[in-house]
Chain A
Amino acid sequence: MSTVAPVGDAALPAVLDEWEPVIGLEIHVQLATASKAFSPSGVAFGAPPNSLTDPLVLGLPGTLPVFNRRALELAVRLGVATSSKIRARSRFARKHYFYPDLPKGYQISQYDEPLCEDGAIDVLVGTRRMAIRLQRIHLEEDAGKSSHEGATSHLDLNRAGVPLVEVVTAPELASAEEAAELMRSIHRLVRWLEISEADMEKGQLRCDANVSVRRRGEDRLGTRTELKNINSFRFVQKAIEHEILRQIRILETGGRILRETRLWDAMGGVSFPMRSKEEANDYRYFPDPDLPPLVVDAQIMGAVLGTLPELPGPRFERYQRELGVSPDDARTLVSERPLAEYFEAAVAARRPEAAVGVRGRAVANWLLTELLGALNGDDKAIGDSPLSPASLAELVDLIEDGTISGKIGKDVFESCYASGQSPAAYVESKGLRQISNEAELLKIIEQVLVTCAKQAADYRAGKEGLFGFFVGQVMKATGGRANPQLTSELMLRALKS
């Protein structure tokens, strides 16, 4: 995951001493179902326009909605993972507005009885773990897409009816950076739980931001604007920072903030107010008479609870506490579930003698530097690693028990990464086992001292800087297999005798 982009406007930090931003996000997440929320046509990105429709998607007269069980399970999964209260009976409502991408003239959504309320999500700002409160998570259907063609717009309804959850945070994010981190946390969490692919470029994760500012120390919230259309991670922070600054400038010059919806234009790096007519909406919500109350019964809760993995936040802490992993490494390890699962599998595969408190540290090092480096170079995901978690564990064990040196370890890694072979077998077959046998090493040391008698004499005469030379000669003679520590000890003894 990319790091936090630098603050674009140098003026921002200074004015923030005086002004306090208050930010809330509404995040739409597409649920990973095969079919639509309320009808059976398929869901796919990039299909030919209007090729994934059915009578309900088109809003044909006489059609009726039937809700998708999978969508409910995925939404409940997110609710449980965010410690939300899950309503045993929630309700679908109709939200009315006229827009060409909304075929029925209303969106089936949830209003006063949403599926989930009062949850929280772990956000890692840097390596600080904080909880952001979620007001609600509700189910709804997506709209279609329109594209401009001169004086007309073309409508593609493939996306209409795709199931979404809308996650609404409490208005308590204090900076654009926190907002951006929150988006990353949602992205990580829904991917972690296999609720959504959450690819922002495909519109599977979208964000609207409610932004206001007030003078520090003031209780009353300022007038807020709603920023729509923030469709990439990069722009979440940028768009919000831009809006914070825009509002501060207006207020500092004696102006008033208009309560309006603004569209973020990523190309120009600016936002535009949407037409005020669109603002005059009264959505006329009412319970959808076609859909009886949505019941989350024991069967659905059981299915969700039975498949819920440990979440990134607790893992972030456990890796540090129990496995000796550094905060930075822990943050990286929990950035995506396959990486964390790989890590845990490798830790579990280590020999039982490995010291528990630190058994993860070396694995994390090898995983995050060597393995990820190699995979990145090959443009491969962790799931495609030619080196299995057990092999990585084996490699770490071989180094820690002295069978091979760390230096040989890198060679072994490279060979086994390329061949997929087990490190132990490779070490055996290539005779790379470290020489830790005193008698064997002494024989080689004697040989070196004979061959390098002059240097030995110099050393003994006080040129102690030559010590490394002797160790190097042993390494050279053994092809690097000599146990470095033992070699040093024996060499020192031999030179002093």
Chain B
Amino acid sequence: MSDLCHLSLVEQARRVAVGGATARELVDAHLARIDALDPRVHAFLHVDRDGARAAAEQIDARRSRGDKLGPLAGVPIGIKDVVVTKGQPTTAASRMLAGWTPPYDAAVVERLRAADAILIGKQNCDEFGMGSSTENSAQGPTRNPWDLERIPGGSSGGSAAAVAAGFCAASIGTDTGGSIRQPSSMCGVVGLKPTYGRVSRWGLIAYASSLDQIGPMTRTVEDAALLLELIAGHDPRDSTSLVDAVPKYRSKLTSGVVAGTKIGLPAEYFGDGIDPAVRAVLDRTISVMRDAGARFVSLSLPHTRLALPTYYLLACAEASSNLSRYDGIRYGQRVERKGASLADVYRDSRSAGFGAEVKRRIMLGTFALRAGYYDAYYRKAQQVRALIKRDFDEAFAQVDVLLTPTAPTAAFGIGETTTPMEMYLGDVFTLACNLAGLPGLSVPVGLTPAGLPVGAQLLGKPLDELTLLKAGRALEQRCELSPRWPDLGEVEGAS
């Protein structure tokens, strides 16, 4: 195990700040690990070796001059490839965008650069964020570091795997229906989907605009708190960005006290569909937390069973619209046969550029928005969405947070899930949170007998990330995985 690479983000930043390590050492250690192990994991689509080293050297030079450094100075962070980076290729793991380098930075990337973080590379994911296993990447799947024959979850699978494997101190993921939390659960890392509007979507390649949110994927809850603090906040370029002030999450993160916290256990999240091994880990978690003084309340979110169809209708409808811009004209993949008409160029480019799952969702969304079908499908789903939101409002009148499994199963085998519906069911516990715009946190709380991580999901009131992080800290302290990290073998050259 390379020591530097499994330090927390907070600790890595501290070492650079006090001179315990140089930025260059951190970057070299991570690059060595990536070079040695990522061929097996395939977490990255692009590693910016030269850029990362140059940025690290600059930070070290600034430090030696006594310049003030940002709070993430020298810390390598990976970015899911649906977030645009000026000067680094961004493809959304799609053939459609192969070779595209954006001329601008996402808001979150600007903020990371301003904090002096090192943007070490772009991470694999399901194409345009559409999937739950990272198998829908045009560049091939990412493998779960805990078991290379298994998927890492998705769609932010590369980002979760990279954090678990020690390829970066933290990742920036995106979550439309669970895409931060579910892979975090399956890779044994911490993943936070903030309240809708908390983090600017400027520069996030849209999948479903009313559901998409950017968030941190880290090895500790404290890391997530720090990263959220740095990326959250109002951005005038996003009309849905919230203006509320950003709390100092990290300093307010008192150490793991849950006595008196009222935690709701929604019955619908503990039903038949859960794998018994996952269920056992959750039961143990609940009893540990009860011993620590948390008060559990059983309650019901009656519209939960409608969340899945509601989500897929709304997400696919928005996706069909958002993906209309990919036409092979201004950027991206273009297929133009000899003598092709304009319509041929559109159809050929789109048909060749999009993968099967993306096409399926575009088709479903196009269906739902057609004249004559809109009211029965899209509008109906928006109404049910309001009912799902109302369930949560009522629940949060009684409790501080909700605790649920993050996913019904631990990581499954690559190629194991064959039908789209089967795959969609894997998101059943995460997507209601997006529909309601709530913050959700996944924290690793145990391993299955097969040695696969299991995450617990905490859901909170809008803008109440702090309560989630505090409760998550308590889970983290009392339910630590053992072993904490997957064993991928030693890496030469990494310190």
Direct contact of A and B (CB under 8 A): yes
Cβ-defined contact, A62 with B202, below 8 A: yes
Q: Is the CB of B327 within 8 A of A98?
A: yes
Given known A96-B321, A98-B346, A286-B317, contact A62–B329 (CB-CB < 8 A)? no
A104: chain B residues at CB < 8 Å are 324-325
Residues of B within 8 A of A290 (CB): 206, 209, 239-240
Judged by a CB distance under 8 angstroms, whether B366 is at the interface is yes
Q: Is the CB of A96 within 8 A of B324?
A: yes
**Cβ of B90 under 8 Å from chain A:** yes
Return B402 CB to nearest CB of chain A, in Å.
Answer: 25
Interface string of A256-295 (1 = CB under 8 A from B): 0000000000000000000001000011111001111000
Contact B374 A62 (CB under 8 A): no
Given contacts A66-B239, A282-B370, A284-B369, contact A105 B204 (CB under 8 A): no
Is A106 touching B83 in the complex (CB atoms < 8 A)? no
A106–B84 touching, CB < 8 Å? no
Which stretch, A52-60, A204-212, A239-247, A333-341, touches the partner chain B?
A52-60
- Give the number of A-B contacts (CB < 8 Å): 101
A155 contacts B321, C-beta separation under 8 Å: no
Mask, A141-169, CB within 8 Å of B = 1, is 00000000000010101000000000000
Q: When the two chains form their complex, are residues B324 and A106 in contact, meaning their CB atoms are under 8 A apart?
A: yes
Cβ-defined contact, A105 with B324, below 8 A: yes
For the complex formed, measure the closest distance between the CB of B78 and the CB atoms of chain A, giving whole angstroms: 18
**Contact present for A61 and B330 (CB under 8 Å):** no
Assuming the contacts A60-B104, A61-B97, asked whether A292 and B325 have C-beta atoms less than 8 A apart, the reply is no
- Distance in angstroms between the alpha carbons of A284 and B318 in the assembled complex: 11
From A61, A67, A98, A282, give the contact of B205 (CB < 8 A): A61
A58 with B330, Cβ < 8 A, contacts A104-B325, A106-B324, A286-B374 known: yes
A215–B471 Cα distance when bound, in Å, is: 77
A289 touches B236 (CB 8 A): no
Q: Are B330 and A292 in contact (CB under 8 A)?
A: no
Whether A286 and B83, one on each chain, are in contact in the complex, defined by CB atoms closer than 8 angstroms, is no
Give the complex CA separation of A155 and B203 in angstroms: 25
| Pairwise interchain contact B239-A62, C-beta atoms closer than 8 A | no
Q: Any chain B CB within 8 A of the CB of A450?
A: no
User: Which of A62, A65, A94, A103 is the one whose CB lies under 8 Å from B84?
Assistant: A62
Instruction: Assess the A292–B240 pair: CB atoms within 8 A.
Output: yes
Instruction: Look across to chain B and name the residue whose beta carbon is closest to the beta carbon of A104.
Output: B325
Q: Does B238 contact A (CB under 8 A)?
A: yes
Quote the shortest CB–CB distance from B27 to chain A (angstroms). 26
Is the C-beta of B201 less than 8 angstroms from some C-beta in chain A?
A: yes
Q: Please give, as numbers and ranges, the residues of chain A lying within 8 Å of B318 by CB-CB distance.
A: 289
What per-residue 1/0 map shows which CB atoms of B342-375 lie under 8 Å from chain A? 1100100000000000000000001001110010
Expressed in whole angstroms, the Cα–Cα distance for A292 and B343 within the complex equals 33
Cα A94 to Cα B206 in complex, Å, equals 15
Which residues of the other chain, B, contact A98 by a CB distance below 8 angstroms? 324, 327, 343, 346
In the complex, the chain B residue whose C-beta lies closest to that of A284 is B369
Interface centre among A65, A105, A155 (most CB of B within 10 A): A105
Interface string of B17-28 (1 = CB under 8 A from A): 000000000000
CB <8 Å contact, B371 and A284: yes
Residue from A104, A157, A289 whose CB has the most chain B CB atoms within 10 Å: A289
Chain A residues with CB under 8 Å of B104's CB are 55, 60, 62
Is there an interface contact between A284 and B327, defined as CB atoms closer than 8 Å? Answer: no
Give B280 Cβ to nearest chain A Cβ, in Å. 40
84-114 of chain A: CB within 8 A of chain B: 94, 96, 98, 100, 103-106
Nearest chain A CB to B397's CB is how many angstroms away?
Answer: 25
Bound-complex Cα distance A173 to B178 (A): 55
* Residue pair B370, A284 in contact (C-beta under 8 Å): yes
CB distance B325 to A64 under 8 Å? Answer: no
A118 to B208, CA, bound (A): 35
Taking CB atoms, residues of chain B closer than 8 Å to A286 are 317, 321, 369, 374, 378
Determine the distance from Cα of A130 to Cα of B323 in the docked complex, in whole angstroms: 47
Residue pair B238, A64 in contact (C-beta under 8 Å): yes
**Which residues of B83-111 have CB atoms within 8 Å of chain A's CB atoms?**
83-84, 90, 92, 97, 100, 102-104, 106
CB distance from A323 to the nearest CB of B (A): 49
State whether B237 touches A60 (Cβ < 8 A): no
**B270 at interface, CB cutoff 8 A:** no
Interface residue ranges, B against A (CB under 8 Å): 83-84, 90, 92, 97, 100, 102-104, 106, 201-206, 208-210, 236-240, 317-318, 320-321, 323-327, 329-331, 342-343, 346, 366, 369-371, 374, 378
Binding site for B on A (CB under 8 A): 55, 58-67, 94, 96, 98, 100, 103-106, 153, 155, 157, 277, 282-286, 289-292
Interface pairs (24), CB distance under 8 Å: A55-B103, A55-B104, A58-B330, A60-B331, A61-B84, A61-B100, A62-B84, A62-B102, A62-B104, A62-B206, A66-B238, A98-B324, A100-B327, A104-B324, A105-B321, A105-B324, A105-B326, A105-B327, A282-B371, A283-B371, A286-B374, A289-B318, A292-B239, A292-B240
Contacts A61-B102, A96-B369, A104-B325 known; list 8 others, CB within 8 Å.
A62-B84, A62-B106, A62-B205, A94-B321, A100-B342, A104-B324, A282-B370, A289-B210
The 6 A-B pairs of least Cβ separation, nearest first, read: A105-B324, A289-B210, A284-B369, A289-B209, A61-B205, A62-B203
